[in-house]
Each structure stands twice: as structure tokens, then as C-alpha cells.
């Protein structure tokens, strides 16, 4: 076996996960024995993986993406992978070579470029997926990296002052629980802007004169508050009525600082773009004609151009308007997909965007606003695969159990269907969040599952998903939590009506909150499922809320309920899959990062132990150097190979004789 070529894997000899269980046929040579000797994975009850699986996966695992982070001089800063993890690269021209700037084992996916300081930039990096990001200054002349923060607290959301001499950010350094706002200059002098014991505070934008700062207080996905702080006096004023429970997204000063653009669902179902006049207090809606969320926007430096990305049922639509007057510009057509980032050039004559489509990895483009032309800056590799074989999804809606506006409610879902007549086995892919949304990004995993394994992949946006209005977003709150699980039951009903889908071979897969959905689906629908695959999933809401990182607890209590309240605690215990293990009768594969700050590894440990005691086949993959999901290529590769063996054993086999618990 050549598992060592992934450089992935060692047994972490601690606690519950002592040693590597399971009995590979060739312990001296097998993938499990190699894993235990030399890498970062702990494997429990995982059988050996054949070379044929590794070889079949290899091309899919060598696809690449390029995600835009901003303009750097007249070039672009992107994050892309050459090796084991994403690192920062500079592009000097369209389709030019990617000049690598950072060389770390840990991925670098965040960076912030100053509009007025081309000596360097700030980037963020954590260790082992802990998400305790530290900020670093990269000097473009000396190529040196300088730590700007304390080395152990959490930092993020950097906002540069227009003068390029200082920057704002949030930090948990005061007490580890709340997010405060500080400003630091490049000499290391720190000033406290805002320290509060309640809420999560985030800086948004400096005024053009750098004398004021926009900040928001995030309460929940349904509620935020917007403020302006006078940096000379420290005075903070609310820009919207604090009694309003509305969502607020992006916010930015206009070109002369007399107004603020912001997105919010105030007075509407969807996130609309508004302009607030700071003098009169008048608020004007700029996208009242758009029946979808404005997911993000960008302003040119002189304030004369406004770019909007609109989420139309999961697909992004780009609009650029000239200000004042909001006149739309004619644009060349971008690839149809999801816009992941966009930035105006310093001169304001170009807009850079990164776009992911269902059949092509995320790549970077620029739109010339003077010539109305599109230029492609990257063409990311697809591992030597034939992109013509990739499958694009169909957007469908299926009926569920209740009504909306007097008619049967319908749930949107993206369906990837393999070639051939079927009936195809089915993988239901549930997003996390819970207020997330499945969107048709490129996924080499989905393409592998569909093209190579012949699985139809169905990705539903069950109630509680973002992108369909705030009423839909709230449909799974509080006592309604399991209604989203019932939407999976309705999806199983829909699958049973399709001649091209095999309702006797259905597996459900998801991560984080989607991992909870996998476990809950196995509790309620074991008789209709073949297996489950979950990563970093919540198995008990009470223990999750008690053990997630302190800076996250109040945020999650807003979504799931406060476990300190006896009545809510009883409800959370009642819906937690860990307390219904006896109802789970189908095999489960678990993946978990040992350093996960969101859903701690104890959530996976306890469901593994419970299922193991109940005699249910359960495979457990724990990565010692990962957090909330696997970010390092070696770990992802190994996990995908193990998942393939799991699916072949429990889902892709003989539908007339599915494996039963104990058939290991």
C-alpha cells in the first residue's frame, strides 16, 4: 500500500481513541497499519482500503481552485493549493503564473490588502483547525512575516483605514468570550474602540476621513444592529432603531461619508440594499424590484460605482450600477455559478470576481468597465479529468408535509443525476448552518460520487435554509427543530416516486448541523435508509452547547435554545440523537477534527461509543491536526477513500440483501 504518499497519518494514542481498531487483512502492509505508523489520523473500526480505490480517486483529489482576496498593485491576490494546503499567491496578469507568497503546513485563506499601502498586507492563520486565527503582516520588500497579535486569542474581520496606516479588527483577547473591536497601527500601538460584555461586535468600514467607524453587533442570523462610532470621542450612535429585530449584512460608507449603504431585511422578506442619509436619517431602498437576497456588494474607492451580487435561488447574478442615480451598466456575461468574492480595482476601472460553477472549479475573472470585456485570470486544474463528463444539477422542488399560503409547501433541491437510465442509488447531501444554503459550487467530491460511483446526489435546502426569505429561515427555530428532519422524510417520499432513483439504496450525508441532520434522519428513517455519513456533527444539543467554545455559546443559544433553561433543556434532550440510539439501525461513518472549536470532538466520541455498544456498524475517522472539517489534502484524501469503501459496502452493494447491524 502507498498510503504514505498522502503523508497523512498517525495514531493519536489518547483517551477513547487509543490505537487503531479493526482488523485489516494485511496489517503489516495495509492502509490502516500505515496510518497508525506515520500520520495524523486516528481510525476506529475502519477496514483496509484497496489500491484500486486510491487510484480511482487520485485525479479527482488533484483538482484546484483560485479564490480572490483582493487587488495587489495592478495584480491580484488569491489563495490556491500547490501541495497540501491553500496558500497565498500573486497574479500579475491574466493567465499568468501564480507566484507563491506563503509556505506553511497550515492553510492561509484570509488576507486583507490596504487601499493605500503597497508595502505589504495582513493575513490570518491558525494552527490545526483551531480557528484561533492570528494576524500577520507580510512585508513585500523583505518577504518577512511579523505576528501582530497575542498568539493565542481569536482575531478576524480586518478593515483597513483609507490612509493605510492602521486597521480595525475584532478580538476575544479580553475574556475569551466576547468579541471586542480594536484598532492597531503598523508600529503595534493598539487602541480600544469598543469593549462590551454582551454580543459579537465586528468592524465594517472606516469613513472616508478615517474619523468614524461602522460596527455591527451580531445577535443571530435574524438579528443584527448597526452603529457608527466617532473615533475621537468614542461616542456610539445607533443607525437603526435598536428595537428592530432585523438582519443586517454588509455596510459601507458612500463616497463622501454622508451616507451609508447596507443590506437588511427590514420591512421585507429578503436582504435588500438600502442607503441611509446620515444627516436626515432618511432610508431609501435601492433594490425594491429584486425578489431575492442581495448577498454582498462592493463600492469603488471614489464611490461612483456599486457592484451587487444577487442570490437568485442559489445562483449569483452580478449587477453594477453607476452612482448617483443607480443606473445599471451593460456587462459581459460571467459563467453561471456562485460569486465567492468581488473587488474594484484601485483605479475603479475593473471589477475582479471569483466564480465557482457546478462543472468548473472556482476561478478569477476581471470585468473591464470601460471596454465591457471579460478577462480570465486563472484556469484551475481538474486533475486531468474530462470536464465534459462533469454533471450539472437540475433545480427541482418537492412537496413536503405542511402548507404555505394555502398550498402544499415545496422544498428546493439540486439534483445531480448520473448518466444512464438507472435506477440510481441516492446520496442526500444536507448542508450545515443550520441557516446555510446548498449552492451549486464546484465539488470534485460530488462529481466523483456521480460520475464514478453512479450515485444520484440530491442536495435539499430544507426549511431553515437561507436564501428564501426570513420566514422560511425561521421555520426550524425552537420547538420546530425536527420539522426540517420531516422535510428529509418528504424527500424520501419524492425519491420513491422516481423511476430513475432507487429508494432502497439511499444514504444521507452532512457536516456540522448537517451531521445532526444525518443522525436525526437515521433515528426517524432507519427503515428507509441504507446508511449515514456524517462529519463534525451534533449528537446532543445540551452537551454541544455546554462544550462549544465560549465565544460561540450565546450565538448558538440564539439559534437552538438556552440549555440552562429547564424546559428548553428537556426539549433539547428530547430531540438529541444520542438519546435515541436504539432507533438507529443502519451503519454510520463519522469524521471529526480533534481541534474543532465549534462542534467539539466529544460529540463524535459519544455517538461512536453509543452506537458501538448497540452493535451498529460505525466507522470513525479522527484527524489530530484538523478542526471543523478537514482542510489538509492528505486528510481529505484518506477520508474520501474510506468513505468510498463505506459506500461500496453499505449502499452500492446488493439492494436485495442490504447489510444488517453486526455484518462487519
Domain ranges of the chain: 64-376, 391-540+576-622
In CATH, the architecture of 64-376 is 7 Propeller (2.130)
3-state helix, strand, coil split of the chain in percent (to 5) is 20, 35, 45
Predicted confidence at residue 14, as pLDDT, reads: 27
**Considering only CA atoms, which of 271, 320, 283 is closest in space to residue 299?**
320
Predicted confidence at residue 633, as pLDDT, reads: 87
Predicted confidence at residue 39, as pLDDT, reads: 59
The terminus-to-terminus CA distance of the chain in angstroms comes to 22
* Distance between CA atoms of residues 456 and 393, nearest Å: 10
Q: Which residues of the chain have pLDDT under 70?
A: 1-39, 654-664
Give pairs for 86-89: CB < 8 Å, separation 24+: 86/631, 88/123, 88/138
The CA–CA distances, whole Å, from 431 to 440, 508, 510, 518, 548 equal 12, 11, 6, 10, 20
Q: What is the CATH number of domain 391-540+576-622?
A: 3.40.50.1820
Predicted confidence at residue 56, as pLDDT, reads: 86
Sign of CA dihedral 83, 88, 90, 96: positive
Amino acid at each position: 500500500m502507498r498510503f504514505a504518499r498522502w503523508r497523512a497519518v498517525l495514531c493519536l494514542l489518547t483517551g477513547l481513541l487509543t490505537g487503531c481498531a479493526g482488523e485489516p487483512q494485511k496489517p503489516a502492509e495495509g492502509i490502516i497499519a500505515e496510518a497508525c505508523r506515520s500520520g495524523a489520523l486516528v481510525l476506529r473500526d475502519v477496514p483496509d482500503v484497496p489500491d484500486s480505490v486510491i487510484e480511482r480517486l487520485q485525479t479527482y483529489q488533484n483538482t484546484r481552485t483560485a479564490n480572490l482576496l483582493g487587488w495587489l498593485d495592478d495584480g491580484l491576490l488569491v489563495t490556491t493549493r500547490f501541495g497540501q494546503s491553500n496558500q497565498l499567491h500573486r497574479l500579475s496578469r491574466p493567465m499568468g503564473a501564480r507566484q507563491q507568497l506563503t509556505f506553511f503546513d497550515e492553510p492561509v485563506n484570509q488576507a486583507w490588502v490596504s487601499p493605500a499601502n503597497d508595502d505589504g498586507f495582513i493575513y490570518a492563520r491558525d494552527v490545526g483547525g483551531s480557528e484561533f486565527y492570528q494576524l500577520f503582516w507580510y512585508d513585500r520588500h523583505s518577504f518577512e512575516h511579523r505576528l501582530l497579535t497575542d498568539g493565542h486569542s481569536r482575531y478576524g474581520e480586518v478593515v483597513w483605514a483609507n490612509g493605510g496606516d492602521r486597521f480595525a479588527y475584532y478580538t476575544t483577547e479580553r475574556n475569551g468570550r466576547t468579541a471586542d473591536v480594536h484598532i492597531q497601527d503598523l508600529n503595534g500601538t493598539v487602541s480600544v474602540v469598543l469593549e462590551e460584555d454582551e454580543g459579537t461586535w465586528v468592524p465594517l468600514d472606516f469613513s472616508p476621513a478615517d474619523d468614524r467607524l461602522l460596527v455591527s453587533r451580531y445577535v443571530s442570523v435574524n438579528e443584527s444592529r448597526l452603529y457608527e462610532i466617532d473615533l475621537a470621542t468614542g461616542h456610539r450612535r445607533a443607525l437603526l432603531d435598536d428595537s428592530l429585530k432585523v438582519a443586517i449584512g454588509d455596510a459601507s460608507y458612500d463616497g463622501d461619508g454622508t451616507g451609508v449603504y447596507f443590506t437588511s431585511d427590514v420591512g421585507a422578506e429578503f436582504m435588500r440594499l438600502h442607503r441611509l442619509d446620515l444627516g436626515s436619517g432618511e432610508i431609501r431602498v435601492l433594490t425594491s424590484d429584486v425578489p431575492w437576497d442581495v448577498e454582498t456588494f462592493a463600492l469603488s474607492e471614489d464611490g461612483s460605482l456599486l457592484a451587487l451580487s444577487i442570490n437568485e435561488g442559489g445562483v449569483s447574478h452580478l449587477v453594477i450600477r453607476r452612482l448617483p442615480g443607480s443606473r445599471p451598466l451593460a456587462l459581459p456575461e460571467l459563467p453561471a455559478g456562485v460569486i465567492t468574492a468581488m473587488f474594484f480595482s484601485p483605479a475603479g476601472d475593473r471589477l475582479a470576481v471569483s466564480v465557482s460553477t457546478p462543472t468548473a472549479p472556482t476561478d478569477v475573472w476581471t470585468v473591464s468597465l470601460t471596454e465591457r470585456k471579460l478577462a480570465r485570470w486563472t484556469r484551475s486544474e481538474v486533475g486531468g479529468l474530462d470536464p465534459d463528463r462533469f454533471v450539472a444539477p437540475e433545480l427541482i422542488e418537492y412537496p413536503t408535509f405542511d402548507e404555505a399560503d394555502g398550498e402544499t409547501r415545496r422544498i428546493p433541491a439540486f439534483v445531480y443525476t448520473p448518466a444512464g437510465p438507472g435506477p440510481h442509488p441516492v446520496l442526500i447531501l444536507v448542508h450545515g448552518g443550520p441557516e446555510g444554503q446548498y449552492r451549486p459550487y464546484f465539488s470534485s467530491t460530488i462529481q466523483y460520487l456521480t460520475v464514478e460511483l453512479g450515485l444520484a446526489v440530491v442536495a435539499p435546502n430544507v426549511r431553515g435554509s437561507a436564501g428564501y426569505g426570513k420566514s422560511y429561515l425561521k421555520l426550524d427555530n425552537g420547538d420546530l427543530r425536527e420539522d426540517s428532519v420531516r422535510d428529509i422524510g418528504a424527500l424520501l417520499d419524492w425519491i420513491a416516486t422516481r423511476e430513475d432513483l432507487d429508494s432502497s439504496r439511499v444514504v444521507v450525508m452532512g457536516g456540522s448541523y448537517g451531521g445532526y441532520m444525518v443522525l436525526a434522519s437515521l433515528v426517524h428513517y432507519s427503515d428507509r435508509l441504507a446508511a449515514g455519513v456524517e462529519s463534525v456533527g451534533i449528537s446532543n444539543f445540551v452537551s454541544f452547547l455546554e462544550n462549544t467554545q465560549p465565544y460561540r455559546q450565546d450565538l448558538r443559544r440564539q439559534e437552538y435554545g438556552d440549555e440552562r433553561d429547564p424546559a428548553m433543556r428537556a426539549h433539547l434532550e428530547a430531540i438529541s440523537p444520542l438519546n435515541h440510539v436504539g432507533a438507529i439501525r443502519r451503519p454510520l461513518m463519522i469524521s471529526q477534527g480533534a481541534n474543532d472549536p465549534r462542534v467539539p470532538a466529544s460529540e463524535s466520541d459519544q455517538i461512536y461509543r453509543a452506537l458501538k455498544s448497540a452493535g451498529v456498524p460505525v466507522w470513525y475517522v479522527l484527524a489530530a491536526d484538523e478542526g471543523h472539517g478537514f482542510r489538509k489534502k492528505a486528510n481529505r484524501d484518506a477520508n474520501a477513500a474510506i468513505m468510498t469503501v463505506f459506500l461500496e459496502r453499505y449502499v452500492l452493494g446488493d439492494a436485495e440483501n442490504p447489510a444488517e447491524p453486526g455484518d462487519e
